[in-house]
Chain A
Amino acid sequence: MTLHDTLDQDRRELVELTDDLLGRHCDLDFLRARIDDGTAHTPGLWSRLAETGLVSALVAEEQGGAGLSPAHLSGVLHSLGRHAVPEPYLETAVLAATVLGALPGPVADTWLPRIAAGDAIVVVRLGELTPLVPYAADADLLLDLADDGAVRAFTADELEVTPVAALDPLRPLARVVLAGAGTEVGDDSAVVARTRTLALAGAACLLAGASQRLLDLTVEYVAVREQFGRPVGSFQAVKHKAADLAVMVDMATAAALSAFDAVDEPDGPRRAAAAKAYAGDAAARANVDALQLHGGIGFTWEYHLHIWLKRAMGLAASYGTTTALRRDLARELLARVAGERRG
């Protein structure tokens, strides 16, 4: 099943719009130039995303946005993953926009219109989920979400940001120390919990998209690479690896998109955690098999497989690892079942 078959009409149109934009402005040459000059985020690409309305999609109309619900953006995130977009879209346009949208006040009034206009990068720190904060060095504002529900905003001059050498050069990471007092945005544990769910499901969508690209690149390659006088993709040993990967990528996509749609359902947190855990598994499989089936060419800097190999590895390790999420889910189920057995 293709992504196209999984989405309804509205979301399909948003995906087509995104694919078209990224095909023109975020191609391989663009990504290579970003790696070469060591700058992932650029105001140029960000403003193009903003001009098409993608950055302001979740911001309320009165603050300059389109007032859509997050569910509209699941396919967009998948597309951003397929294109390895080096921008803090999940962080700013999804997470920060929904946090500020849910906590009205002076901070939201100041920053939401700036987000909507594409004039501000706002990132989020989510406790244990973000020991390293993506795109913190590019941020104009950081929202710190504590587990107890306290949300505070810190401007760039109130932060000590130490960039680390990220495995994926197109997704920069930094250690952040809160140096200033910050400003209170609100205190609402439901908002924090919902943001965690959105982060997990959103990362799962990005990751499923990156894995899809690894699969697509691999299928294209084995269909044209010939050995023994036939395409290597005609050998069963190769075909079955590709098929197993296709199963995992398709299932990861189904789980990720549906979890992103379901953030407000009662079982939303569980579905998001499961989707991220499985997307991490699928990405690990995609990483291993894509490189194996490409053979030597996949190791070279000249060929572009490494862009998605590293995107898959980096995202799988961000916003909760598969191992940690699985253990949490298992503990939660055990608590429920043990309660029923003793109850």
Chain B
Amino acid sequence: MNHPVTEADVEEFRAEVRAWLAENVPAEPLPPWTEREGFDLHRAWEGRLFEGGYAAVDWPAEYGGRDAGLRRSMAFAEEYYRAGAPERINMGGLYLLGPVLMQYGTPEQCARWIPDLLACRTIWCQGFSEPGSGSDLASLRTRAERDGDHFVVNGQKIWTSMGGFADWIFALVRTDPEAGRKRKHDGITFLCIDLRSPGVEVRPLAMVDGTRGFAEVFFTDVRVPVENVVGEIDRGWAVAMSTLGFERGAVFGDHAKFSNDVADLAALVDARDLGEDTHALDELGRVLVQTEVYRANVYRLAARAEAGGELDSTASINKVFWTQMQHDIFDTGIRLLAEDGAAVGDPGSLPDADPATLRAWSQWHHRYWYARAAMIFGGTNEIQRNIISERVLGLPMEPRR
């Protein structure tokens, strides 16, 4: 950017975004993306965002973004959530793989994958976790053996978000088991794999709330061109760590989403006539305070990023806080619904419920379970606490290998 972004620039951009969203956001909320029909509608929405030039406003213009900078990107996110626009479904591509390609990818890789990713013509999922490798990710065993200008991949990935709907996976595979025996972080490669390749089997996992947002992916003698490696062969750990940094760190502007959720919670308290109930007030006040604190932190991190400061050390603190806050919001909501919330398994069982209760039920159960998952994915909150205690507070390492 040639000139510093002024408050007037931000407000001008905000007004433009607000007008576009008012024109384009679907009047009725889309059905959940965890079923095929809802997924296709969300994908169509992503296409519309792309056409409007809003798929990734923070990206550099050379990759199809708007070079919006932090403050305009935050204004975009604030307006997006304020307008009640659909949940984004291509976060793995936009926020994890995209930035990785810009940092580690070759110009050919960027040209090949980024435009389709940005337009949501291809959906990407992340293939890191394995059945035996969760928190101890570097112990992963999915093998990729070199055969001429291909790798032959055998193994299994699990907990791949949107795996059942994705076209491509960016995966960590072991390419040098010998090096890995000396130091397990060595000999790992970051490899992009077309899920339509022969030998790939994707099995959606039915989750606790009945949805199928996650999948297991099995690889049997899958041939993948060597040119699909991002970064250096055997040095994929550094590439993977940079994606985890993106995953844990602030998605600038998501504070607006949580503030909306707390406003919905207030609407529920009002609809259920709990406005004078001190317990309900305490619970509502507690999550309202958390969202205000989170917003202050997002703005602090943005100011720091704008000044060129590093955010790595803050990512773990941020992840523990926002995942706990998100849990508290939906947990509070479900408890405020009392028997209607936690004892009934389907909103159809509540024929006499008020609209706010029905809306809360249908929206929050899915997000409640997602909130529980968020305390596990991207490095469990226990792993984050290890990182905070060792790298931020400087306490001694646990013995581990």
Contacts and interface: CB of A to CB of B under 8 A. Distances in A.
Interface string A320-343: 000101111111011011100100
B252 to A, nearest CB: 14
Contacts of B290: 278
B101 to A, nearest CB: 28
Interface string A232-261: 011010111011101100111011011100
Given A222-B395, A234-B397, A337 B285 contact: no
Interface stretch (B180-188, B191-199, B236-244, B293-301): B293-301
A78 interface: no
Contacts of A333: 262-263, 266, 284, 288
B395 A334 contact: no
Contact of B389 (A243, A252, A331, A336): A243
B393 A243 contact: yes
A242 B393 contact: yes
Contacts of B304: 1, 5-6
Contacts of B394: 219, 223
A97 interface: no
A247 B382 contact: no
A254 B300 contact: yes
Given A247-B317, A323-B282, A326-B288, A255 B385 contact: no
A258 B296 CA distance: 6
B388 A330 contact: no
A251 B293 contact: yes
What is the interface residue range for chain B against chain A?
Answer: 35 or more
A243 B297 contact: no
A277 interface: yes
Contacts of A255: 292-293, 296-297
Q: Is the interface of A mostly helix, strand, loop or mixed?
A: helix
Nearest to B399: A234
Contacts of A281: 289
A327 B282 contact: yes
Residue among B267, B293, B382 with max Cβ neighbours from chain A (10 Å): B293
A44 B385 CA distance: 44
Contacts of A242: 389, 393, 395
B285 A271 contact: no
B270 A327 contact: no
B289 A329 contact: yes
Interface string B365-401: 0000000000000000010111011101111111000
A231 interface: yes
29 contacts: A223-B394, A223-B396, A233-B389, A233-B395, A239-B390, A239-B398, A240-B385, A242-B393, A243-B385, A243-B392, A244-B320, A251-B321, A252-B293, A254-B293, A254-B300, A270-B292, A274-B288, A275-B292, A277-B289, A278-B289, A327-B285, A329-B289, A330-B266, A330-B282, A331-B275, A333-B263, A334-B266, A334-B269, A341-B267
Given A278-B293, A337-B266, 4 more contacts: A231-B395, A270-B292, A330-B280, A334-B269
Leading 9 A-B pairs by shortest Cβ distance: A326-B285, A274-B292, A239-B389, A243-B385, A330-B285, A234-B396, A243-B388, A258-B296, A330-B284
Interface of B: 262-263, 266-267, 269-271, 275, 278, 280-282, 284-286, 288-290, 292-294, 296-297, 299-300, 304, 309, 313-314, 317, 320-321, 382, 384-386, 388-390, 392-398
